[in-house]
Chains A and B, each alone.
Chain A
Amino acid sequence: MHELSIAMQIVEIVEEEAKKHDSALVSAVHLEIGTLSGVEPDALEFAMEEAVRHSIVAKAELFYHYIEAVAVCEECCHEFKMDDYFKVCPYCNSINTSMLKGKELKIRSIDIQTK
């Protein structure tokens, strides 16, 4: 259920930013979610529907940009896509690898209406 706390954080941050810019209406929110961020897309999208209610984000179009996870092997320096957390290098079988992207949990940008 941590997706709901994440959804509510999104709404809170977006509301604050919109307010800073004297806007009372947010028309779009672009989110970046890594495929290995620990957030379940379906659960987040469902939670967002609830979290935006009664907020200035309620009418915003929500864009979910899912970022595919990539790791680099520290032995052979090859980069490879990660389908799951088991980041064994497919080139040299080393487990000495590091994730480069795929853990994103970010608000990329918002579109706001001002008078």
Chain B
Amino acid sequence: MCGTCGCGEDDHITYRKPGEYNLFHSHQHTHDGTTHSHAHDHSHEDHGHQHGHEHSHDSEHGHTHSISLERNILSKNDLIAERNRGFFEGMKIVALNLVSSPGSGKTSILERSITELGEKLNCAVIEGDQQTLNDAERIQKAGAPVIQINTGNGCHLDALMVNKAMKSLDVKQNSILFIENVGNLVCPSLFDLGETKRVVIISVTEGDDKPAKYPTMFETSHLCLINKTDLLPYVDFDMEKVKETALKVNPRLEFIALSAKTGEGMNEWYGWMQALKG
């Protein structure tokens, strides 16, 4: 069963650069009979193998033991996330996990950012979507190295996907790595990717109750970009109400209102990133 979405098939995550076939498939390990190791880092079912042990026992009586684990369920993801984080720190890479609902303008913000200061900030992009290379092609046109992760039916990126993707992307030292998560304001909030900062993006056309409806994402983010400010005259969107609601969930959240179309507010966003680069 797929570990990401629970569909009947094996994992079917693909990693592609524009113009390339799948770089590698996520099920690249082999199983050799019953002696395979459990070093793989994602879950399986339906492989039909048994976890039987081979040694003999002196006693045939069964015993029950209680084992205290106190183990975080997402510890495997968190461990890989910390490895990613260590790599980013060592390479002086600022990794930004961009989360939002579909259509808030994540890719448009990236396109403009890359076009306006791609070389200055040394940008690279990991694109996450269920299907298609569309976003990766847009980013490549804008002029940044990019790899597309297609999660199949999966609703979020996890640390392992980012780990694999960044290895083939060959991210340079002192760069900014944008990780554009799957458009979804729910699931990605639980999965640490090892990012330096998490940026939640909403747009004024979505309504001003997003932080009330999807508080987890705002609770775990550091910065909130409010996009499409050029459309403010045409929609009922109360900027102050959004900020007030989001701050009740996360009092440390920062805000930048901008328009990827007109460029309004983009300098503030660039400044925020440059401050992170130090």
**For chain B residues 141-162, which have a beta carbon within 8 Å of chain A?**
155-156, 158
Question: What are 16 residue pairs bridging A and B, where the CB atoms are less than 8 Å apart in the complex?
Answer: A2-B155, A2-B186, A5-B158, A8-B1, A9-B76, A12-B43, A13-B76, A19-B51, A21-B65, A22-B53, A27-B64, A54-B46, A109-B68, A113-B63, A114-B62, A115-B60
Distance from B202 Cβ to chain A, minimum over Cβ atoms (Å): 16
Q: B61: which A residues are within 8 A, CB to CB?
A: 115
Separation of A107 and B158 alpha carbons in the complex (Å): 20
Separation of A114 and B248 alpha carbons in the complex (Å): 50
Separation of A39 and B190 alpha carbons in the complex (Å): 9
Q: How many chain B residues touch the partner (CB < 8 A)?
A: 50
Q: B60: which A residues are within 8 A, CB to CB?
A: 115
Contact of B219 among A85, A106, A113 (CB under 8 A): A85
CB pair A106–B45 under 8 Å, yes or no, is no
Distance from B43 Cβ to chain A, minimum over Cβ atoms (Å): 4
Distance from B7 Cβ to chain A, minimum over Cβ atoms (Å): 10
Q: B90: which A residues are within 8 A, CB to CB?
A: none
Given A36-B216, A108-B69, 4 extra CB contacts under 8 A: A5-B3, A86-B248, A108-B68, A112-B67
CB pair A2–B73 under 8 Å, yes or no, is no
Q: B186: which A residues are within 8 A, CB to CB?
A: 2, 38
Nearest A residue (CB) for B6: A4
Q: A111: which B residues are within 8 A, CB to CB?
A: 64-67
Given the known inter-chain contacts A8-B43, A106-B73, please indicate yes or no for A21 contacting B1, CB distance below 8 A. Answer: no
Q: B218: which A residues are within 8 A, CB to CB?
A: 85
Nearest B residue (CB) for A50: B6
Given the known inter-chain contacts A24-B51, A27-B64, A113-B64, please indicate yes or no for A1 contacting B71, CB distance below 8 A. Answer: no
CB pair A107–B249 under 8 Å, yes or no, is no
Given the known inter-chain contacts A4-B6, A24-B52, A84-B215, please indicate yes or no for A54 contacting B45, CB distance below 8 A. Answer: yes
